[in-house]
Structure 1
Amino acid sequence: MTVGDIIDALSACDRDTPVRLAINPFFPMAHRLGGVETLVDGHGRPMVYIAESPEAEQFGPLPPAVAVALTWQAPVEAPARRRRGTTPPNDGH
């Protein structure tokens, strides 16, 4: 992904919408962004890094729909529930 890809993806969003960073596909969590840093790597290529908040603020588990959209997990449907039978009245035995 490039800076242009991110700009294109974000250009359709409301500028006041909060941004969260989705981390770790095996234990998906949402984090607050902390900053953007640019530098030149060891091969002379410019690189951009998006950092987590310095407070390491975590907002809890990533919503399942986001993990599915990122293809970090497959869609899961709740198992069908069986109707429970009724218990006969206890007549003291």
Structure 2
Amino acid sequence: MSSTLTTRDLIARLSEFDPDTPVHLAINPFFPFRHGIADVIAAKDALGRTTVYVTENGEQQGPVPPGVTVAAGWHEPTEAPRRPRTGISA
């Protein structure tokens, strides 16, 4: 697949889901947070080609779930380190 997602690619991927499913932007692989989507806007780039922009609404809505960061290739699967229980009597 191309490194640039086309409108056709995005529509195909989104058509796999229930149309009422919420959609968020997952941003920043090093500190992944989800953001709300504000709009979809078309504009001409420097070469005169139409490009579509998905804009965010300025709301950082919490961390991206670990499964998403792994599926996106941003992080390796990890587990929290095990801690020994101390101060607990049997």
Match of 2:34 among 30, 34, 46: 30
Count matched residues. Answer: 85
Deviation at 1:41, TM superposition (A): 1.0
Match of 1:78 among 77, 80, 86: 80
More strand by share: 2
Q: Does 1:13 align with 2:20?
A: no
- State the shift of 1:58 in Å: 1.4
Identical-pair percentage = 51
Deviation per CA, 1:35-76: give whole Å up to 9, x if none. 0100111101110000001xx111111111111110111000
What TM-score results when the alignment is normalised by the length of structure 1? Answer: 0.81
Give 3-state SS (helix, strand or coil) of 2:31's partner. coil
Q: State the match for 1:52 in structure 2.
A: 56
1:11 aligned partner, one-letter code: S
Matched residues in 1 for 2:88 and 2:35: separation?
46
RMSD: 1.7
Q: 1: distance between equivalents of 2:35 and 2:84?
A: 38
Looking at structure 2, the residues matched to 85 and 34 of structure 1 have their Cα atoms a distance apart, in angstroms, of 50
SS of residue paired to 2:42? strand
* Structure 2 residue runs without a partner (length 5+): none
| Corresponding residue to 1:41 among 39, 45, 50 | 45
